[in-house]
Amino acid sequence: MENAVTDAPILVAIDGPAGSGKSSVSRAAAERLAFGILDTGAAYRALAWTALETGTDLDDPAAVEMLLAAWRYETALRGDARVLVRVPGHVEADVTAAIREPDISAQVSRVSKHPGVRDGLNAMFRRIVADSGLPGVVIEGRDITTVVAPDAPVRILMTASAEVRAHRRAGELPGLSHEHVLADIEARDAKDALVVDFFTAAPGVTTIDTSDLDFDGSVDAVIAVVRGAQNELADSASAANGDTP
Ligand SMILES: Nc1ncnc2c1ncn2[C@@H]1O[C@H](COP(=O)(O)OP(=O)(O)O)[C@@H](O)[C@H]1O
Ligand SMILES: Nc1ccn([C@@H]2O[C@H](COP(=O)(O)OP(=O)(O)O)[C@@H](O)[C@H]2O)c(=O)n1
């Protein structure tokens, strides 16, 4: 298979609800594949953080779109997972830790519900991937398999039961009870699901249910789907070249 860094990167699109394992499993899978990783939820979180910081009304689509036009977002697709944001003349910050705070989780759906904001961020995501110079990129979020990269050769819906997802999240948020975390993620998923469907696999999308998988098992499941798609791509490339098997 042609895989030179000058080609468009192979995309591995992963969607799913909060706590299904998207970010952490995608990051580990990308590492093993020597691919980049783009966590699109981090960008939505960082935009919500910037809106709060600059006194922008998160419910006003025009205000958030105006902010987005001036907004600079920096994150590396390999290695360092830091997230930096800048609005010239207003704010410049490393928001890596701040965007994971429960307050941002509670507010982020207020910016992600605006179609114009989604279009702007989606254009940014496509640009980041196209300019990456990497052989492949894992891109994860809520609408990657359906809107951002519907033609990706690998598309995965990562799910897990609400109980399991809340248990995982509660493990990361000491001080918050399982019930509290469960109620929070169910409320956020319900709001997000009004805008994009990340509970049902679109045609051609492979579902990986991580409820009964440990972390390494989940990474292995993603790698197996990617390897299967790579083999299919290689087979169709050799068939197109007229190679004999
Ligand atoms: N299959 C798994 N088994 C056990 N723990 C997991 C698994 N997948 C993810 N985790 C843990 O659950 C937490 C939430 O995962 P995360 O990747 O942030 O989910 P998401 O991005 O879908 O919200 C993290 O602490 C992560 O290490
Ligand atoms: N492709 C995406 C990714 C995230 N989001 C929004 O960004 C928020 C944070 O996403 P995330 O992936 O960091 O959330 P977790 O699943 O990690 O909790 C979601 O609750 C959505 O509101 C989105 O709308 N579309």
The domain in which residue 190 lies consists of: 8-35+136-239
| CA–CA separation, 108 and 43 (whole Å) | 10
State which of 75, 110, 133 marks the end of a domain. Answer: 133
Report pLDDT for 160.
97
Model ipTM value:
0.97
Sign of CA dihedral 71, 72, 74, 77: positive
Name every protein residue with a CB atom under 6 angstroms from any ligand 1 atom. 16, 18-25, 168-169, 171-172, 210, 213-215, 218
Q: Is the pLDDT of residue 4 over 90?
A: no
Question: What tens digit of pLDDT does each residue of 207-232 get?
Answer: 999 999 999 999 999 999 999 998 88
Domain count, the chain: 2
Indicate whether 176 and 222 sit together in one domain. Answer: yes
Indicate whether 140 and 31 sit together in one domain. Answer: yes
Question: What tens digit of pLDDT does each residue of 5-55 get?
Answer: 446 789 999 999 999 999 999 999 999 999 999 999 999 999 999 999 999
Question: What tens digit of pLDDT does each residue of 125-174 get?
Answer: 999 999 999 999 999 999 999 999 999 999 999 999 999 999 999 888 88
* Angle 92-98-103 from CA coordinates, rounded to 5°: 125
Name every protein residue with a CB atom under 6 angstroms from any ligand 2 atom. 18, 22-23, 40-42, 44-45, 108-109, 112, 141-144, 188, 192
